[in-house]
């Protein structure tokens, strides 16, 4: 891939501190953009131990349900990128409070999104409004659920300018695809992996 792609290392909270440190030291030389959830969420002391031994920015927070869960991480200086999720953190208002907290502590925000296009558009609006924004997770799941569909230009989501979030639910398509989900025939749209990993 050369130097044209940032590497984001996802640990999914699967390691203890010792294992995370061993892995982190092995991958430092590749200068990853971040080391995500090297230890389980909520383990403040274990996270602190990893931060003390590994020279990679630490990203976490996709499992958080409240801004209060972030407070101790900020106070201990052991998070570099906060990955809250508007779909579970309490919506846009709560997300704005989290962004303000992160800005005060010089922590970047990179919203997480496993919930589909409505949350993607909501978080795109949020990203356009906060100075602490870094990058936005987006997956092409259920693109038919909204109209107009999400528009991506040169790798950036185009933020709609219409009232509200600028999109409407496509209830007919949602109902039609839900029937397929219910009877086991739904297949998600194929991803264009060649765009990101061309054959050598």
Sign of torsion, CA 127 109 34 41?
A: negative
Q: Cite the active site residues.
A: 12, 112
DSSP, collapsed to helix, strand or coil, labels residue 153 as: strand
11 touches 20 (CB < 8 A): yes
């Amino acid at each position: 891939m050369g130097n044209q792609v940032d590497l984001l290392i996802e640990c999914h909270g699967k390691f203890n501190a010792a294992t995370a440190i061993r892995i982190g030291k092995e991958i430092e030389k590749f200068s990853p953009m971040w080391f995500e959830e090297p230890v389980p969420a909520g383990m403040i002391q274990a996270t602190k131990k990893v931060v003390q031994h590994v020279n990679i920015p630490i990203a976490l927070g996709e499992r958080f349900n409240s801004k209060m869960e972030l407070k101790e991480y900020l106070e201990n200086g052991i998070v570099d990128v906060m990955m809250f999720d508007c779909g579970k953190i309490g919506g846009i208002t709560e997300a704005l409070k989290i962004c303000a907290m992160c800005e005060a502590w010089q922590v970047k925000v990179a919203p997480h999104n496993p919930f589909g296009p409505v949350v993607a558009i909501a978080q795109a609006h949020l990203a356009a409004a906060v100075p602490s924004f870094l990058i936005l997770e987006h997956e092409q799941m259920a693109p038919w659920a909204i109209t107009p569909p999400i528009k991506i230009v040169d790798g950036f989501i185009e933020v709609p300018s219409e009232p509200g979030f600028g999109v409407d639910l496509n209830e007919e398509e949602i109902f039609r695809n839900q029937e397929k989900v219910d009877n086991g025939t739904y297949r998600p749209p194929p991803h264009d992996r060649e765009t990101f990993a061309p054959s050598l």
